Structure 1
């Protein structure tokens, strides 16, 4: 699995933000045809753990800042990485949201936000490929503790989980 690639780095640039300086990378997904992004703070060294958040884009929560977000809000994750004393990576997995899914959520806002972007093995694989390209091997993963299958196949190791906004 470690050598299988469905994403390719297509661009990179400096990215000054309200939280400080990052490096922005763009990745083209040959299977899903999407363009994914990664914000990197600091210098990543393969033998050192890196603070990592893999974020699935969601317009209702990222742009409109709904308080019903069930995960780390995008800006909170970016701020946490910026304020950390260690290197960090925020992977942004972009996806088209079907208008019907958004309308359905609006009609039933009590349903979990995760319904709008179900996690699957392919999503984990795309994020893992981006992390490997950035030379990440050991991670302080910004998520609630959970079993994520297949990461070892990409040469990735979760050192620990970082609690936060979830």
Structure 2
């Protein structure tokens, strides 16, 4: 239309009955009109092959109360955030490795906040990975599901006034969950992981990682104790965010 070539277009193509055309129909349409066609998954795969989003900047031994880990420090070229992966043991690309991807929660992970289950999940995951003898604990700097520490404290204040965690985020002008998985996926790939036994209660995390050449072989729950302080938070994650929780 603009006389510019080459050009790419993303759009919905309707069938004659008014429904949206699916991939087989779109492939026929493209062949009929001499058009090239590619999927979002192909674009992701291309960018994964040609663009490196992370840089490994340091590596060191890290003995912990859970076991003797190796710490790998990474820097993201997307936003300059710093992430860390703790690994134990060895694995090959053709065998599943136990993995926990944990988003930063200063209040829970460091200060032991009872408002959430984050600190308990760190404890449970590191213990399980250590007992397994090999695995990866990936700590992503995505505080407060991506809204940052200051905004998370503001969200806590709104929750004290009766809002749930989703309503509080939305009142502050944020989506319920701003986390992304591309950087984390590249870190896992850099560490040689291809097949994952993923420690998570969040099915969206499974979907989010599956688009990055990572195969989720199994989803393993990591459920913390339900308390009076975190019950509402956990119920919201289960009822409104689709988390698979059997203990609340």
- Structure number, greater radius of gyration: 2
What is the match of residue 121 of structure 2?
A: 73
**Structure 1 residue 44: Cα displacement:** 2.1
Structure 2: 5+ residue stretches without partners = 1-44, 225-248
What is the match of residue 155 of structure 1?
A: 213
Q: What per-residue deviation string (whole Å, max 9, x for no partner) do you get for residues 8-67 of structure 1?
A: 111101110011111100010111111100000101211110000000001111112223
Structure 1 or 2: more helix by fraction: 2
1:133 to 163, 172, 190: 190
Give the TM-score of the pair, scaled to structure 2: 0.59
RCO comparison, higher one (Cα < 8 Å, 6+) = 1
1:99 and 2:147 correspond: no
Aligned residues: 163
Contact 2:210–2:216 under 8 Å retained in 1: no
Structure 1: 5+ residue stretches without partners = none
What is the match of residue 118 of structure 1?
A: 177
What is the match of residue 90 of structure 2?
A: 43
Give the TM-score of the pair, scaled to structure 1: 0.85
Give me the whole-angstrom Cα distance separating, in 2, the residues matched to 1:14 and 1:101: 32
Shift in CA distance, 101/68, structure 1 to aligned 2, threshold 3 Å: closer
**Structure 1 residue 152: Cα displacement:** 4.1
